[in-house]
Amino acid sequence: MSLYQDRLLTEGIRIIEKSTPSDQFHADYAELSFEQALTKRTKLAELRYQISPVLKHFHQLFTVFYSLLCILFFIIGASSVSQLLVNQSNSQINFFWAIVLFLAPNLLSLIIWLFVFFKPGALRSSWLANISLSLISLLDKLLHKPHDQHPYYTTLFRYYFEHQFGTYLGRARISLVSHLWWSCYLMGATLSLLLVLATHQVDFIWQTTILSEDVFMQITQLLTAMPDALGITVPNMNDVAQASIGAVNSLSSAQENRVSWANLLIFSLTIYALLPRVILMLFFKQRVKSKQSHYQINFSLPYYVQLKGQLQPVSSRSFISDPDSQSEDNIDLAAHNTLSGNNDFPTDALPLAVELNGALLNSVRGLIALTYSHSLINVIDGQTQQQAISLITHSKATNLALYVDIKRVPDRGWLSFVKKCSSDPSMTVYLIILGEVVLQEDDRASLRFKDWVEMASQAGIDASYITYKQISEVESE
């Protein structure tokens, strides 16, 4: 199993366990890095959830879906030659009409693809996703018996679909599929055209009502420039004039004209239409493989923050800024319910609360008024966030005290806000985590505390400046 498949399997387990990771997969993770520990846990969880066969089935299902549409587009391309260009009652091919039929739609689809590829948000069309999902689901019902389904089959299917066509892989994957299907269509048309020209004698003509002969001369010069340089026999300007309706040619010159026009038509369809699609298809195939090999799990998600607290508890890691000055580097949550080397924060620190509810806010307001020279701001939305950042900028504060509720799950929004607040290297951030109970090893509050510590480390907050305070202690102060 490749590294990409391992990570996809880990994400599948996250989808099943939702926001709270299971604590039933016990092993010795202490000496491993988090990614190694996560890989070990994934193998244990796979024995229970059995996700690998489901993901393999999805891969096969999507492959079958792509293949069936490739066959369909090949057939459409092959039949288009006999339907639109040649039939039993007509042995003539309007050359420029053939060029328009095959090159114009291909060029138009390339323009649409470029628009979709480079326009932000163009791939978020819900109707396109719903149609694609419906077609693949219908195919799955035909191939997969309902009673054989995994209990989390539908959830995993939607995740797999969103992963394949979502933000990370979506542009490359859709581009690959689009160019693959067009390549099949043009391949079918090219082979069918070769078969028709090999088994039928056709004359190439052009006709018009409103255009002049000069237009066809210019188009022919443009199309014949490359094959003529390669030494391929192609029509000259006299051949263009003779190809008009009503022109009479000798038998020998007529056959030569047929060959030269056939060469130009096959060359145009192959080089100007099919080859660019094949090149783009191969490029995006390699692009998909590259993105898969570089795929990374977002460890800042609350699920992984909590999981890291389970696999590598904070209580087993050092909280001492200077390890040489201490003989013990482990935290005993039961004995140290205030986990900070410095509980007396600077009085000039700027106090900020992040999404505290009314009860907690009222509990800390009195303490804030007695401890700090600045008033408290409770950041609850974009407006108060901008207000807090503006206050930090104008106050020239070098110390920041952040009050948070331990019940709240730390997320990327909080991490981004703290990084904005502490963008000045001279800023020192103190984190005060408020809770109702005394922290006990392995209880829910303790695990959530460790989540906060992990997120704080990502925000660059020194571990010695992290404190847990019970609300009763705050009210008594």
288 and 338 in one domain? no
Q: What is the pLDDT of residues 171-184, one digit of tens each?
A: 899 999 999 999 99
Q: What is the pLDDT of residue 119?
A: 74
Domain that holds residue 344: 330-476
Is residue 106 a part of any domain in this protein? yes
CA distance linking residue 124 with residue 129, whole number of Å: 8
Domain-ending residue, one of 293, 322, 338: 293
Strand order in the sheet with 466-470: 377-379, 350-354, 399-405, 428-435, 466-470
Q: Is 309 helix (H, G, I), strand (E, B) or coil?
A: helix
**Among 239-248, 370-379, 395-404, 449-458, which is the least confidently predicted range?**
239-248
Q: What is the pLDDT of residue 40?
A: 92
CA distance linking residue 190 with residue 79, whole number of Å: 11
| Two tokens, residue 408 | 């709240």
Confidence of residue 129 (pLDDT cuts 50, 70, 90): low
380 and 262 in one domain? no
Is residue 9 a part of any domain in this protein? no
CA distance linking residue 116 with residue 112, whole number of Å: 6
Q: Which residues pair with 418 in a beta bridge?
A: none
CATH of the domain at 388: 3.40.50.10140
396 φψ region: left (φ > 0), alpha (ψ -120 to 50), beta (else): left
CA distance linking residue 316 with residue 331, whole number of Å: 7
468 and 351 in one domain? yes
Q: What percent of the chain is modeled with pLDDT above 90?
A: 23
Domain-ending residue, one of 270, 293, 316: 293
389 and 289 in one domain? no
382 and 273 in one domain? no
**Pair 342, 464: CB distance under 8 Å:** yes
Confidence of residue 344 (pLDDT cuts 50, 70, 90): low
Q: What is the pLDDT of residues 198-224, one digit of tens each?
A: 888 888 887 777 878 788 888 888 988
Q: What is the pLDDT of residue 291?
A: 94
Is residue 272 over pLDDT 60?
yes
Q: What is the pLDDT of residues 223-252, one digit of tens each?
A: 889 998 999 888 888 777 777 655 555 566
208 and 69 in one domain? yes
Query: Alpha carbon of 227 to those of 80, 230, 271: distances in Å?
Result: 25, 5, 10
Domain-ending residue, one of 293, 319, 347: 293
CA distance linking residue 126 with residue 177, whole number of Å: 18
Residues sharing a CB contact under 8 Å with residue 144, sequence separation 6 or more, in sequence order: 57, 61
CA distance linking residue 3 with residue 38, whole number of Å: 12
- Residue 314 has phi, psi (to 5 degrees) of -60, -30
273 and 372 in one domain? no
334 and 262 in one domain? no
Q: What is the mean pLDDT of the chain?
A: 80
Q: Which helix (H) or strand (E) holds 156?
A: helix 153-165
170 and 98 in one domain? yes
**Among 105-119, 149-163, 204-218, which is the least confidently predicted range?**
204-218
Q: What is the pLDDT of residue 319?
A: 37
User: What global pTM score does this model have?
Assistant: 0.67
Query: Alpha carbon of 389 to those of 123, 186, 410, 418, 469: distances in Å?
Result: 34, 58, 19, 10, 25
Q: What is the pLDDT of residue 154?
A: 83
Is residue 389 a part of any domain in this protein? yes
Q: What is the pLDDT of residue 182?
A: 95
Q: What is the pLDDT of residues 7-64, one digit of tens each?
A: 999 999 999 998 788 888 888 887 888 889 999 999 999 999 999 998 998 899 889 9
Give the residue from 391, 386, 354 showing the smallest Cα distance to 374.
391
Is residue 38 a part of any domain in this protein? no
Confidence of residue 330 (pLDDT cuts 50, 70, 90): very low
With vertex at residue 281, the alpha carbon angle to CA 276 and CA 284, rounded to the nearest 5 degrees, is 125
Is residue 31 a part of any domain in this protein? no
Is residue 67 over pLDDT 70?
yes
Is residue 230 a part of any domain in this protein? yes
Q: What is the pLDDT of residue 89?
A: 55
Give the residue from 156, 185, 212 showing the smallest Cα distance to 77.
185
Q: What is the pLDDT of residue 212?
A: 80
Choice between 344 and 100, residue whose per-residue pLDDT is larger: 100
Is residue 70 a part of any domain in this protein? yes
Confidence of residue 329 (pLDDT cuts 50, 70, 90): very low
Confidence of residue 317 (pLDDT cuts 50, 70, 90): very low
352 and 278 in one domain? no
Choice between 140 and 338, residue whose per-residue pLDDT is larger: 140
338 and 279 in one domain? no
263 and 119 in one domain? yes
Is residue 40 a part of any domain in this protein? no
Q: What is the pLDDT of residue 22?
A: 87
Q: What is the pLDDT of residue 290?
A: 94
Indicate the number of domains in the chain: 2
